[in-house]
């Protein structure tokens, strides 16, 4: 794969509302990521809502040739191809595939974006790494712990950059909070973190069994996971109703806030994880994910405590999905939308809202289903990945950091299931003194699929 060279174009790089933040975070580049001399060759696996959203953010910050798209749903795939073609200056239509293995075998790609359901992340990430591509991988990086360990090993073996879609690490107002609040010492000694999600996001649906439509390869959509009887299109949330394909709200929402806390406070693996919860209120539908859950991630002299409820009202309406870091001199509350520093005593309160870039990127305003508040963070996250590719360095949400956050949330679910605290040993890849929990680190795969192991990549 050809190594690209870049022309310095500092004036172009400096324009834009978060350019100074980019420069303070990354330093001055010796190249211009926005204007490479040769476009990055890009492929996308999973072209639904977030797969397209991630691709459009990448298109906004650098020059790309979108070579190919892959999705098991032909309708989604063709719609994505139409939209991508409209967004590209070349107006060239990408080649289309239903099977990611065929796509990767036919094209030499610089970057692969993976936006499929969680049960596919590890296998597709490993396949893309084996094909020589760098990857932007949506969180969580796996649905079980050993899958995640295998992705980490594969990235190391093939020396490729993996940026995990934990974009809070590159959210402009949270970067500012890290620099001006946490790193500046305004909190003093930090000894407690609370994290939460109180969104009503758990499905209560109970649809009847249906015939699989001709445009969907449901067998391939299911892949290594258990094959549920087909009861409607799994896209845009229905698959998230089931632990067969996800890690529940722990893997969807907690992973973001826990990763934010780890990043802000420079935390590694928790020493111990415990969790309690279940389906306490919303038991009318088919969904088998917990509607109520508490998890404790223990560190020395510090606990990070998670709480989610998909029913009732939020504890703090200003921060329905958030983290709060408690220090001896004050509290930092943060979310994708804002942050607030509240000092102890008569000190100065500090508030900051999220950044929008409507004027710089007017196309955002007409993009279907876009999360406007998250777009600047994802653009910056993409630039962070590109910097890692060009300098052969690790981006902020690299594969190991993504694995630590993903696996910790998976371990919390196992702790809830077994009703006991767990201590994971990442060197031995076991739960200490707990053979039953260790066996649950690796989910069984459906016949015809082989579970990856970290030793496959030694």
pLDDT tens-digit series, residues 205-225 = 999 999 999 999 999 999 999
What per-residue confidence (pLDDT) applies to 31?
59
Question: Tokens 């445009």 map to which residue?
Answer: 215
What per-residue confidence (pLDDT) applies to 36?
75
- Do 118 and 241 fall within a single domain? no
Q: Domain for residue 80, yes or no?
A: yes
- Do 206 and 163 fall within a single domain? no
- Do 215 and 117 fall within a single domain? no
- Do 94 and 108 fall within a single domain? yes
How far apart, in whole angstroms, are the C-alpha atoms of residue 396 and residue 330? 26
- Do 420 and 379 fall within a single domain? no
Q: Which CATH number covers residue 147?
A: 3.40.50.720
Q: Are 280 and 296 in contact (CB under 8 A)?
A: no
Rg of the chain in Å (alpha carbons): 21
Pairing type for strands 330-334 and 338-343 reads antiparallel
- Do 223 and 252 fall within a single domain? yes
Q: Is 261 helix (H, G, I), strand (E, B) or coil?
A: helix
Q: Could you report the per-residue pLDDT of 379-416, keeping only the tens digit for each? A: 999 999 999 999 999 999 999 999 999 999 999 999 99
- Do 282 and 193 fall within a single domain? yes
Q: In percent, how much of the chain has pLDDT > 70?
A: 93
What per-residue confidence (pLDDT) applies to 35?
76
- Do 313 and 297 fall within a single domain? yes
Name, in order, each residue with C-beta under 8 angstroms of 201's C-beta and a sequence gap of 6 or more.
Answer: 237, 249, 253, 310
Mean pLDDT, residues 308-327: 98
Q: Model pTM?
A: 0.93
Q: Domain for residue 3, yes or no?
A: no
Name, in order, each residue with C-beta under 8 angstroms of 67's C-beta and a sequence gap of 6 or more.
Answer: 41, 42, 43, 94, 95, 107, 109
Q: Is the pLDDT of residue 178 over 70?
A: yes
Q: Which CATH number covers residue 294?
A: 3.30.360.10
Mean pLDDT, residues 264-274: 98
Q: Domain for residue 1, yes or no?
A: no
Q: Could you report the per-residue pLDDT of 56-77, keeping only the tens digit for each? A: 999 999 999 999 999 999 999 9
How far apart, in whole angstroms, are the C-alpha atoms of residue 160 and residue 151? 11
- Do 111 and 131 fall within a single domain? yes
- What domain count does the chain have? 2
Mean pLDDT, residues 290-310: 98
What per-residue confidence (pLDDT) applies to 400?
98
Q: Is the pLDDT of residue 106 over 60?
A: yes
* Residue 86 structure tokens: 């409209």
Q: What is the mean pLDDT of the chain?
A: 93
Type and span of the H or E element at 296: strand 292-299
Q: Provide the residue range defining the domain that includes 165.
A: 10-169+374-399
Q: Are 302 and 419 in contact (CB under 8 A)?
A: no
- Do 453 and 346 fall within a single domain? yes
* Residue 159 structure tokens: 């020396």
């Amino acid at each position: 794969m050809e190594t690209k060279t870049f022309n310095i174009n500092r004036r172009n790089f400096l324009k834009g509302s978060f350019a100074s933040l980019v420069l303070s975070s990354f330093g001055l580049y010796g190249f211009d990521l926005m204007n490479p001399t040769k476009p990055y060759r890009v492929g996308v696996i999973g072209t639904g809502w977030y797969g397209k959203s991630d691709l459009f953010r990448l298109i906004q910050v650098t020059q790309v040739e979108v070579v190919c798209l892959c999705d098991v749903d032909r309708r989604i795939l063709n719609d994505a191809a139409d939209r991508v073609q409209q967004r590209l200056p070349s107006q060239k239509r990408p080649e289309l595939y239903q099977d990611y293995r065929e796509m990767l075998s036919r094209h030499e790609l610089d970057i692969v974006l993976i936006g499929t359901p969680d049960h596919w992340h590890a296998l597709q990430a490993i396949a893309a790494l084996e094909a020589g591509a760098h990857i932007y991988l949506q969180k969580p990086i796996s649905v079980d712990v050993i899958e995640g360990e295998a992705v980490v090993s594969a990235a190391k073996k093939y020396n490729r950059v993996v940026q995990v879609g934990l974009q809070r690490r590159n959210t402009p107002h949270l970067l500012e909070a890290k620099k001006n609040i946490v790193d500046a010492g305004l909190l003093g000694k930090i000894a407690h973190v609370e994290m939460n999600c109180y969104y009503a996001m758990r499905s209560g649906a109970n649809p009847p069994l249906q015939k699989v439509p001709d445009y969907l390869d449901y067998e391939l959509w299911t892949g290594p996971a258990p094959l549920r009887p087909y009861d409607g299109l799994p896209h845009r949330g229905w698959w998230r109703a089931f632990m067969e394909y996800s890690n529940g709200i722990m893997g969807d929402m907690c992973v973001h806030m826990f990763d934010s806390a780890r990043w802000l406070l420079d935390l590694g693996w928790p020493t111990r994880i415990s969790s309690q919860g279940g389906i306490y209120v919303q038991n009318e539908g088919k969904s088998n994910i917990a509607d109520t859950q508490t998890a404790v991630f223990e560190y020395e002299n510090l606990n990070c405590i998670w709480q989610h409820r998909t029913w009732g009202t939020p504890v703090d309406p200003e921060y329905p999905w958030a983290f709060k870091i408690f220090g001896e001199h004050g509290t930092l509350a943060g979310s994708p939308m804002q942050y607030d520093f509240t000092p102890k005593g008569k000190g100065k309160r500090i508030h900051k809202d999220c950044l929008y870039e409507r004027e710089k990127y007017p196309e955002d305003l007409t993009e279907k289903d876009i999360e406007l508040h998250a777009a600047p963070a994802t653009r910056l996250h993409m630039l962070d990945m590109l910097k890692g590719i060009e300098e052969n360095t690790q981006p902020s949400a690299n594969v190991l950091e993504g694995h630590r956050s993903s696996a910790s949330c998976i371990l919390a679910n196992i702790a809830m299931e077994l009703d006991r605290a767990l201590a994971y040993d990442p060197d031995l890849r076991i739960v200490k003194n707990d053979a039953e929990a260790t066996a649950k680190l690796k989910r069984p795969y459906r016949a015809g699929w082989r579970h990856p192991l970290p030793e496959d990549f030694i």
